[in-house]
Amino acid sequence: MGQKQRVAIASAIAADAKLLLFDEPTSGLDYSHMVKVSELLRKLADSGRTVLVSTHDPELIELCYDYVLCIKNGKAVKLEKSQFKHS
């Protein structure tokens, strides 16, 4: 596992997409592979792309988010800005 997720990210990079949407990009990954995917997502965001990620993975959120939008019963209930400065 992890190869599919990285291939999906690589194809988005190759397409030079400015807006990237990922649905559960770390599903089924162990922690070390999740960290690698989070690093790729962070690099994409740092390169000026808009990266939207739908996830239930709290570790991924902590590693690479700028904002978190929480949705409950189909409604946005909270928008939170990261307290971390990502490099």
- CA distances, 73 to each of 70, 77, 80 (Å): 10, 9, 18
pTM of the predicted protein model = 0.78
pLDDT at 36: 87
The mean per-residue pLDDT over the stretch 42-52 comes to 91
Query: What is the DSSP-derived secondary structure letter of residue 53?
Result: E
pLDDT at 52: 93
pLDDT at residue 58 above 60? yes
pLDDT at 19: 93
Query: Residue ranges of the domains in the chain?
Result: 3-81
Residues near 14 by beta carbon (within 8 Å), at least 6 away in sequence: none
pLDDT at residue 87 above 60? no
pLDDT at residue 9 above 70? yes
pLDDT-derived band at 84, boundaries 50, 70, 90: low
Q: Which CATH number fits domain 3-81: 3.40.630.10, 1.10.357.10, 1.10.10.10, 3.40.50.300?
A: 3.40.50.300
pLDDT at 49: 92
